[in-house]
Structure 1
Amino acid sequence: MSQTSTIDDVPVRATSARHVRRKSNRVRGTLPVLVLFLPPALLVFTVFVILPMGEAAWYSFYNWNGYGLPTEWIGTKNYEIIFRNGAFRQALINNGLIIAVSILIQIPLALWIATMVTHRIKGAVAFRLLFFLPYVLADVAAGMIWRFVYDGQFGLVAGIFNAFGMNAPFWLADKQVAFYAVLGVIVWKYFGFHMMLFVAGLQGVDKSVLEAADIDGATGWQKFYRVTLPMLGSTVRLSVFFAVIGSLQLFDMIMPLTGGGPSNSTQTLVTFLYSFGVMRMQVGFGSAVGVVLFVICVVLAFSYKRIFMKND
């Protein structure tokens, strides 16, 4: 009995030995690549990411204008000023509203248009290109274009209102309306990116499943809600992740559009950092804002990935 077990174990041990040798060979083959490419990448990451982050955290405890060496240690005073600052609270609220609009309006709009242009309709490729073009446009250029469009004296909006004999509004100069005008530009600018994500996801949906749903008599809405949408789950979660993180980093488009005004009504966290930290030569204060923004981004990113994307 024991001899039989020993003989039967020989092929198993031989297979295990071969597996170990193959794994060892793979490790030895990978090691030179790691030694060659990893140190330069780590060096670049350390110099351009880790060190600036550490410096910003250190400067945030000083009252420093950026000239010379920081000498006036003020502890956590910059952080106390941040959370008492009304413009910072407005920027935080604005970023929250941008995230909400991105999730509730921009992503559903992108999914709806992606569903339409994915079907074999005439000119589908042209429509995809048309809707994706705003995303390709540089953020600064988009901000300048829409600043002209919204201009109440010479812009497109002024021309439309004047054509109907009405006085043109100055939306970007009205603190009650300016932020909503910015929200419209944000949806226009970025929904094409999410649309292309959904187009790629829809092309991977198994057509046989949809055909089976047709045979079962499912309506178009039932097929979308019960078949297509669940199969797009990972794409939707990825799209929401990009929308949240991207919304926290808005800067290039808002500065030429409104500059954060009027009366700080269109400030975001990044424009607040620039306006109150860089422009006013309060580098210590701006560094503290950067640290707060970094913490918010990291907490949201890791929490979202851990809760919603752990199986993706």
Structure 2
Amino acid sequence: MLTSENTLEADASDVKLARRDEGGTTPPSSSRRRRRGGFGWRGRLEVLLLVGPAVVFFLGFVVFPVVMAGYYGFFNWKGYGPATDFIGLKNYVTILTDPEFQAALGHNAFIVVASLLLQGPVAILLALLLNRRMRGRSVIRVLIFVPYVISEVVVGTGFSLMLQTQGALNDLLKDLGMPWAVHDWLADPNLAIWTLMAILTWKYVGFAVILFLAGLQGIPEELYEAAALDGASYWQIQWRISFPLLGPTLRIWAFLSIIGALQLFDLVYIIWGQYVASTAGTSTMVTYMVSNGRNAGNFGYGSAVAVVLFLISLVVALIYQRFVLRRDTDGALTERSAA
């Protein structure tokens, strides 16, 4: 019996040693499990304290207003008192069939496309220029970025005064002997939308330039040197190296530009106002919402317009996340894992 017991003890010790040699670990003790559990709760509490205020802010200032706008959109509500006059989808049907809203939607679509086609190439060329070593590069960067940080009120007021019929631009054209170039830049339906695009390009191209410049400076210099040694020209290097590696930055800028164009309001409202914008062909969905909602005293209708605008922006954001952001993120993770 003693021999068999000693044999069993020896076998058990051999098994333990084998487990240790194979890298096995013994189960954690109950005290260690308790310490892990306590650390987990502390970690969760820390995450809650850090994320909680942001979640409360998001729910209170984003989700709640959207839900309430959707609720009031089903009522004929004047902005005070309880909403009792339920009209169902009448507000939404009116919005989608209103020629004025359709025109505003078309203006927003035009601004989206024109912003991408005008600001994008100009910003890329300026970023390529500023990415080279040259004198005064820092000063030029600041001058290009300054319009972006100027208040929309200042920009709108300045351009509205300068582009009037008797404004500084027409006076300058007359003094230069070009009276044929004098136009009503703000009220002519054939020119007003292009005037708006010129103002938007002047103000927002600086943001795109700084964004693209940051992307260009993140490209390793060794790639350019290797391409130059292989005999590639400057534009071949940009086409084969800079533009492909700048792709994620370009797509982020395009998404931000689209969302900004869909929500454009301040410059149009300051320069043209709610009534002139409609006749001049520069109205947007937001100016339509303000004009037919708040200013008309029909807050239920304005809430419905806000919901439509939110849904359009949400669809754009979901499409971007599904087809663009996920691909860029997966590519970045793949490159990191390969490295």
TM-score when normalising by structure 1: 0.91
Higher CA-based Rg: 2
Matched, 1:188 2:202: yes
Q: Match of 1:250?
A: 264
Q: Match of 2:231?
A: 217
Q: Would the aligned equivalents of 2:131 and 2:216 in 1 still touch at CA under 8 Å? A: yes
Q: Match of 1:81?
A: 94
Q: Match of 2:335?
A: none
Taking the aligned partners of 2:165 and 2:35, their CA distance within structure 1 comes to 71
**Matches for 1:108-119 after TM superposition, within 5 Å:** 108-119=121-132
**Matches for 1:7-46 after TM superposition, within 5 Å:** 7-9=20-22, 11=23, 13=25, 27-46=40-59
Structure 1 unaligned spans of 5+: none
CA shift, 1:45, in A, is: 2.3
CA shift, 1:58, in A, is: 0.6
Taking the aligned partners of 2:109 and 2:39, their CA distance within structure 1 comes to 47
Matched, 1:304 2:320: yes
From 117, 133, 143, give the equivalent of 1:120.
133
Taking the aligned partners of 2:125 and 2:162, their CA distance within structure 1 comes to 26
Counterparts in 2 of 1:156 and 1:21: CA distance versus 1, 3 Å: farther
Matched, 1:291 2:304: no
Structure 2 unaligned spans of 5+: 1-13, 330-339
Q: Match of 1:270?
A: 286
| Higher mean displacement: 127-136 or 142-151 | 142-151
**Matches for 1:131-210 after TM superposition, within 5 Å:** 131-164=144-177, 166=179, 168-210=182-224
Counterparts in 2 of 1:130 and 1:23: CA distance versus 1, 3 Å: farther
CA shift, 1:21, in A, is: 11
TM-score when normalising by structure 2: 0.84
Counterparts in 2 of 1:87 and 1:12: CA distance versus 1, 3 Å: farther
**After the TM superposition, which segments of 4 or more aligned residues of structure 1 sit over 4 Å from their partners?**
2-5, 20-29
Q: Secondary structure at the match of 1:171?
A: coil
Q: Match of 2:3?
A: none
Q: Residue 238 of structure 1 aligns to which amino acid in structure 2?
A: I
Q: Residue 213 of structure 2 aligns to which amino acid in structure 1?
A: V
Residue by residue over 1:193-234, the C-alpha shift from the partner in whole angstroms, topping out at 9 and shown as x without a partner, is: 011001111111110000000000001111001011111111
Counterparts in 2 of 1:195 and 1:34: CA distance versus 1, 3 Å: same
Question: What percent of counterpart residues are identical?
Answer: 35
Q: Secondary structure at the match of 2:186?
A: helix
Q: Secondary structure at the match of 2:226?
A: helix
Counterparts in 2 of 1:84 and 1:147: CA distance versus 1, 3 Å: same
CA shift, 1:130, in A, is: 0.7
Q: Would the aligned equivalents of 2:188 and 2:280 in 1 still touch at CA under 8 Å? A: no
Q: Residue 317 of structure 2 aligns to which amino acid in structure 1?
A: A
Taking the aligned partners of 2:48 and 2:18, their CA distance within structure 1 comes to 45
